[in-house]
């Protein structure tokens, strides 16, 4: 099977059994009860993780889930894009647009001005260090004399 055929197969499977959602980042999932098919999908895509989902009721079978989240989702979607239907493409574009808005919002929220040198910087998650840029924090300029 050629690379193109493999991605066409994977896109068809994702079209029917996959999901794309948005939490803190875009997330792709493919869940099925056939472990071999899920593993073949993961091998075709070349990344992501696989987990087993226990049966929820005694008469159900357990399932297998391939998943990938984060920035690399766009690259994976790019491989599948030519083979996806219009409905799935619309869902993907909606999730990626929301992710872009989220990133821009986070960037605005995290922009700070250093109290020591006046440089504008993106703060990390340490709320105490958010008053000074990394250079001033490391040099000790943040300490009052």
9-66 pLDDT, tens digit per residue, is 999 999 999 999 998 889 999 999 999 999 999 999 999 999 988 888 888 888 999 9
Closest C-alpha to 114, from 132, 136, 140: 132
End-to-end CA distance of the chain: 70
CB-based contact 112:125 (threshold 8 Å) = no
CATH of region 3-109, choose from 1.10.3430.10, 3.10.28.10, 3.10.20.70, 3.20.20.70: 3.10.28.10
Q: What is the pLDDT of residues 53-77, one digit of tens each?
A: 888 888 888 899 999 998 889 899 9
Please provide the average confidence, as pLDDT, over all residues in the chain: 85
* Cα 56 to Cα 59: distance, rounded to the nearest angstrom: 9
The domain segmentation of the chain, as residue ranges, is 3-109, 114-145
CB 130 within 8 A of CB 142: no
What pLDDT is attached to residue 145? Answer: 47
Residue 107 has φ and ψ, to the nearest 5°, of -65, -45
């Amino acid at each position: 099977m050629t690379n193109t055929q493999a991605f066409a197969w994977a896109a068809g499977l994702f079209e029917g059994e996959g999901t794309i959602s948005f939490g803190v980042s875009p997330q792709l999932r493919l869940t099925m009860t056939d472990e071999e098919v899920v593993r073949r999908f993961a091998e075709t895509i070349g990344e992501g993780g696989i987990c087993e989902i226990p049966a929820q009721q005694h008469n159900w079978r357990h399932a297998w889930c391939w998943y990938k989240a984060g920035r690399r989702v766009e690259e994976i979607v790019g491989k599948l894009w030519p083979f996806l239907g219009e409905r799935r493409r619309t869902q993907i574009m909606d999730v990626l647009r929301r992710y872009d808005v989220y990133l821009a919002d986070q960037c605005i929220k995290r922009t700070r001005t250093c109290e020591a040198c006046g440089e504008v910087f993106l703060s990390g998650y340490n709320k105490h260090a958010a008053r000074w840029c990394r250079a001033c924090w490391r040099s000790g300029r943040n300490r009052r004399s």
